[in-house]
Amino acid sequence: MGGVAFRWGVVGRAAALDLQTRARIARAASRVTVVAAGGVLVGLLGVAYRQAAELRFPGDPIADAFSILLGTSWATSWWWAIAGGVLLAVGAAVAARADRAGWALAALGLLPLVVFPGLTGHANGAEARFVALGLDAVHVVAAGTWIGTLGLVVLIGRPWLDRLVPAFSPIAIGSVVALVVTGAAAGWREIGSISGYLETGYGRTLLLKVAIFGVVALLGAVNWRRLTPRLGSPDGDRAMGRSAGLEFLLGQAVLLVTAILVRLSP
Ligand code: HEM
Which of the listed residues 209, 248, 252, 256 should we mutate to test ligand 1's pocket, taking the one with most ligand atoms within 8 A of CB? 209
| pTM, two decimal places | 0.95
What's the CA angle centered on 127, arms 121 and 132, to 5 degrees? 50
Check pocket membership of 196 for ligand 1, CB cut-off 6 A.
no
Type of residue numbered 199: E
The number of C-alpha atoms within 13 Å of 189 and in the hemisphere containing its C-beta is: 19
What is the whole-number distance in angstroms between the Cα of residue 258 and the centre of ligand 1? 6
Q: What is the pLDDT of residues 20-60, one digit of tens each?
A: 999 999 999 999 999 999 999 999 999 999 999 998 888 88
Q: What is the pLDDT of residues 35-46, one digit of tens each?
A: 999 999 999 999
pLDDT of residue 192: 94
Q: What is the pLDDT of residues 170-187, one digit of tens each?
A: 999 999 999 999 999 999
> Hey, where are the domains in the chain?
2-261
- Ligand 1 atom 6: residue of nearest CA: 183
Question: Measured between alpha carbons, how far is residue 128 from residues 125, 133, 184, 221, 235 in Å?
Answer: 9, 9, 16, 35, 51
